[in-house]
Amino acid sequence: MSGTVRTHAVPVAKGLRWAIKRILVVGSIALVCAGALHAGQAKPKKNELRHQIFDLEDAWRNAVLKSDTSAMSALLSDDYMAITPSGMLQTKDEALANMRARRIHVTSMLLSDRKVRFYGKTALVTSLAEVQGTNAEGDISGSFRYTRVYVRDVQGKWKIVSFESNKVRAPVEHKKQDPTPAGQ
């Protein structure tokens, strides 16, 4: 008996063997179907996502021009935070209150040089806005560079979570300096 190992097969009832096979077959079919369903829900391509963000940027522009607080509220996340051109922080509630009170009246806004970058469920937009408008202190017209951040929420909707705008200053002409040292 040296060198030989004896194994004893445990008899499995015919019904139990059939049940195990059935479970394996059904499980395999379920995995194949789940994979097919997942494949049918392909991720949107970058061009589609970029188009979605550009549409939201246009909706934001229209909300500003029309002082449409309902449209703006739908675009902004509840924890929205902005940094205004004057450096002030502004929450969603403050932005909507300012819009309702018409503290800023924008008559024209042309957007150009728009760029969108994606980082997972986050979209970062940079753009140049040529703005015509007024506030309580007077004319606010000019060129503004801005950054806006969108995040896709749990329902799959893009929401604006952050915004920062800076007025573009005209380049200062440098004084021409005499290339020769003084006294020569």
For residue 156, give the 3-state DSSP assignment: coil
61 contacts 67 by C-beta, under 8 angstroms: no
Gap between the Cα atoms of 66 and 180, Å rounded: 58
Which pLDDT tens digit goes with each residue over 22-81? Answer: 665 555 565 555 554 445 555 668 789 999 999 999 999 999 999 999 999 999 999 999
- pLDDT bucket at 130, cuts 50 / 70 / 90: very high
Locus of tokens 């392909």: 42
- Provide the 8-state DSSP code for 135: E
* Predicted TM-score of the model (pTM): 0.69
Q: What is the mean pLDDT of residues 147-163?
A: 97
Residue 174: what pLDDT? 44
- pLDDT bucket at 82, cuts 50 / 70 / 90: very high
Sort 162 into a burial class: Cβ within 10 Å, 0-12 / 13-18 / 19+.
Answer: middle
Domains and CATH numbers, the chain: 46-167 (3.10.450.50)
72 contacts 99 by C-beta, under 8 angstroms: yes
